[in-house]
Amino acid sequence: MLVSLTLVLVGTSLFVGLLPTITGNYSDQRFLVCAISWALLCLALGKLVIRPQQSPRMAHLLWLLPFVLVFLSGELYPATFRVEPLMFAFFFSGAFLYGSQLSGLKNFAVVVRQALTLIALLALIYGLIAVLNYGLALRDGNREVDTTVTWGFPNIRYWSHLATWLIPLFAIAQQSGSLSKLPLVRALLFLSGAIWWWMIFTTSARGSAVGLIVGSAVVIALFRRSSLGWLRVMGKQLLGGGFLWLVLTVLVPWLVFGSADLRELRVHSSGRLPLWQEAWEMSLVNFPFGLGPQSWLTHETITDAYRLSNPFAHPHNMYLLWAAEYGWVSLAALLIAVFGVCRSLVDVSARLNCSDSSDKVIVGLTASVVAAFTHAGVSAVFMAPASMLVGLLVLTLFSAHLSMTSEFSKGGEIFKLSTQRLRLSAGLLLVVCCLIGGFWMSEVWHYYEGNMLDRQTYQGQGAIYSPRFWSHGDFPRQ
């Protein structure tokens, strides 16, 4: 099931542009992430009802509970449509609860290595098509290589979210994947990582670069000697990407056109500062509880800087967005969850550093998660549906490995319930989750219909690329 889930989540994120769609690329991805997040939570609760005696200890989930409850409290605010609070709640709780249960599988380590190899091979196919697009662009006399190598996404920024999640996983796949002992497969996995690094260099994806640097620094500080193997493989892939950049992005266009049209590496905020200032002021209006879900779209503008800038559907910072809409209590709850995860990671790193364990998968997964949460500080990593699909898989694998390898995840008196009480509690939650989820999915559909009405009176410039749940921004109708 995990391998099938990997194929669906990663395959849809990367290749939705090549697949037949029902409501459009972006909307199909949004419906899928909503449905799978809800289904994973129901599946995990159902397993607790059917086989409670086989459920592992999940004490670290207690640290996540306040964060989920804050999002659930978003339903207390008045709203025309009730969609985003439950999306966040189902997304995080489904990933961590289902992941914790996966850790109890007997062949879990083998299945994870198969999933990682599949991820890297899917990314390789995407990368090879990017190289093909690059060649076709040169044939057509198009010097803007940066706009042709990333395909299937509304813009480069949305593709960069996936790069942040996936690149740390390529190194694990090459190092510990199910087929990594075969020289040909290992070479293909290396090529996958090199091509994706080439695309980062070519598109100057700053958010991804910063996130990957921070993620690498954290795993080096945490795992020290245990991270060197992963770091060495990732470094080789990075060098391979740099070589491809010199050849494909600099040398070949220079030989063909007489010059290379390189994308500018921007050092400014790209217009984010007015958005951040507006979100900050919003967060102080009803401190510490925020102005309510999606209030960024409907609130009266506070700052002159934002009033004079281009309107966007979110402030390009997930943490300021949550602070503005759900209040600073949401970030306090997030810090509680981060503390619980760090507590488990320190335990894992201590045991890895004191042994010769060959299980280095947790190193790459940690780098991926840290990089994504860092990138979320400057972009909508937990809002764009393609990013959420891949993030749902990565967080599930991360939670599973954390539950399997950390002693702290196995303790916790609060989860040591009798079999009967555990089955009863899980059954009640399952019924509530099914009822609320069914209503929620109908709300998602009604909200989608409202979005289609908005498109008829769109007054912005350029194509509508749905920068939030659906299309929001330059519309006369709130």
Give 380-391 pLDDT, tens digit per residue: 999 999 999 999
The Cα–Cα gap between 199 and 161 comes to 13
* Residue type (1 letter), 17: G
* Residue type (1 letter), 471: S
User: For 195, phi and psi rounded to 5 degrees?
Assistant: -65, -40
Q: Tell me, what's the pLDDT at 334?
A: 97
**165, 28 in Cβ contact below 8 A?**
no
Classified as helix, coil or strand, 299 is coil
The Cα–Cα gap between 364 and 372 comes to 12
User: Mean pLDDT over residues 407-427, rounded?
Assistant: 66
Q: Tell me, what's the pLDDT at 71?
A: 96
Confidence of residue 304 (pLDDT cuts 50, 70, 90): very high
Q: Tell me, what's the pLDDT at 462?
A: 61
User: Mean pLDDT over residues 392-400, rounded?
Assistant: 95
Q: Tell me, what's the pLDDT at 324?
A: 96
**444, 34 in Cβ contact below 8 A?**
yes
What is the CA angle 385-38-402, rounded to 5? 85
Q: Tell me, what's the pLDDT at 473?
A: 55
Confidence of residue 54 (pLDDT cuts 50, 70, 90): low
Q: What is the DSSP string of 215-251?
A: HHHHHHHHHGGGGHHHHHHHHHHHHHHHHHIIIIIII
Give 72-82 pLDDT, tens digit per residue: 999 988 887 88
**201, 182 in Cβ contact below 8 A?**
no
The Cα–Cα gap between 201 and 54 comes to 47
Give 153-188 pLDDT, tens digit per residue: 988 999 999 999 999 999 999 988 778 788 999 999
Residues whose CB falls within 8 Å of the CB of residue 91, separated by 6 or more in sequence, listed in order: 33, 37, 382, 388, 391, 392
Region label for 77, one of left (φ > 0), alpha (ψ between -120 and 50) or beta (otherwise): beta
Confidence of residue 478 (pLDDT cuts 50, 70, 90): very low
Tally of CB atoms within 10 A around 141: 8
Classified as helix, coil or strand, 20 is coil
